[in-house]
A and B are shown apart, each in its own frame.
Chain A
Amino acid sequence: MKTVFIALLFFAMMPFLVTVPALAVEPNEIMEDSALEARARAIGKGLRCLVCQNQSIDDSDAQLARDLRMLIREQLLAGASDDEALAFVVERYGDYVLLRPPLKSTTYLLWLGPFFLFAIAITVTAFYLRRRRRNLASPRTLSPDEERRIQEILDRHP
């Protein structure tokens, strides 16, 4: 009875166990101009935090991420466009900070590689299917030699 009760309690608490991701952006960072703030948030979501690597600077609590968020806000306040604010960070940290890498000569393999592999897979499958269909359409017949051997085996085990 007790275990059932504990189990019920556990299920009753389930909704509260689902956590809402905490905001890394702290209240004192948020800009008064909500349009600018929205732009800063969008830029921050696209920038990798180099300390934690798989988080955006918008999600990260790292000191560097915080510094970069402040920098972006400063840039926007100074009248920079989204692209200029992004370029400011990329100039210093390279394309790797962009969570969505740009399409250029060094990233062709990255962007086009999957399509290339998919094309190979499709081609190989097509060839395979075609050959199989051809084989099914004209099944190979046994050679006289094979016929004779089968007959021998059948004779041995009547």
Chain B
Amino acid sequence: MRISVLLPLLFFAGLLAVFLVGLGLDPAVVPSPLIDKPAPEFALPSLEGGEDGFKKADLAGKITLVNFFASWCLPCKIEHPLLLKLKQEGRVAVAGIAYRDTPEATQNWLAERGDPYDRIGTDLSGRIAIDWGVYGVPESYLVDREGRIRWKHVGMLTPDAWQENFLPLIEELEK
């Protein structure tokens, strides 16, 4: 058989391969331009309304998982036990930013399910979340000791995602 007969077939096979790979990608996950950039400036009030909530300076000196959550968000409920476990392990600091949620609702939620956060800030207007490039809760960011964003996870945090994407990076950052 002449090669020219096979060419369209090969072309089609290539196209098919591209489409098949594309089918496996999650369109909801948009790569963040903030990776490897310093975290944005922020200073968020605590749940009690004080100024000791969560601010950029808190990121210095330790690897921090910054988790945007809300009591009205269903996947946040599902990822919650994992966050509790991470706090227990204590390998990274876990910080929470309550996105567009009243402090009362957040307090009730934490009282009911346990508080996995070393620090919590409330972002009532969602303004700080926009600076972080958040487009839906939950979203989780890994920030290094110098306060640079190193990884972004969109959606529910799962043990698999933690194992595959976070742990190797944390090991590298701990060196």
Residues of A within 8 A of B (CB): 50-51, 53, 63-64, 67-68, 71, 90-96
Q: A53-B27, A93-B135 are contacts. A67–B130 as well, Cβ < 8 Å?
A: yes
Whether the pair B100, A93 counts as a contact (CB closer than 8 A) is no
Whether the pair B135, A50 counts as a contact (CB closer than 8 A) is yes
Residues from chain A with a CB closer than 8 A to the CB of B136 are 50-51, 64
Residues of B within 8 A of A (CB): 27-28, 30-34, 100, 125-127, 130-133, 135-136
Residues from chain A with a CB closer than 8 A to the CB of B34 are 92
Whether the pair B133, A94 counts as a contact (CB closer than 8 A) is yes
Closest CB pairs A-B (n = 5): A50-B135, A94-B33, A92-B133, A96-B30, A93-B133
Residues from chain A with a CB closer than 8 A to the CB of B127 are 67, 71
Q: A51-B135, A64-B136 are contacts. A71–B32 as well, Cβ < 8 Å?
A: no
Residues from chain A with a CB closer than 8 A to the CB of B132 are 92
Which of A71, A92, A94, A95 is most buried by chain B, counting CB atoms within 10 A of its CB? Answer: A92
Whether the pair B31, A96 counts as a contact (CB closer than 8 A) is yes
Q: List 7 A-B contacts (CB under 8 A).
A: A53-B27, A64-B136, A67-B126, A71-B127, A71-B130, A92-B34, A94-B32
Shortest beta-carbon distance from B12 to chain A in Å: 13
Shortest beta-carbon distance from A70 to chain B in Å: 9
Shortest beta-carbon distance from A118 to chain B in Å: 14
Closest to A48 in B: B30
A64-B136, A94-B33 known; 10 new pairs, CB 8 Å cut-off, are A53-B27, A53-B28, A63-B100, A64-B135, A68-B130, A71-B130, A92-B130, A92-B132, A93-B32, A93-B133
Whether the pair A92, B100 counts as a contact (CB closer than 8 A) is no
Q: What's the Cα separation between A32 and B33 when bound, in Å?
A: 34
Shortest beta-carbon distance from B132 to chain A in Å: 7
Residues from chain A with a CB closer than 8 A to the CB of B131 are 92
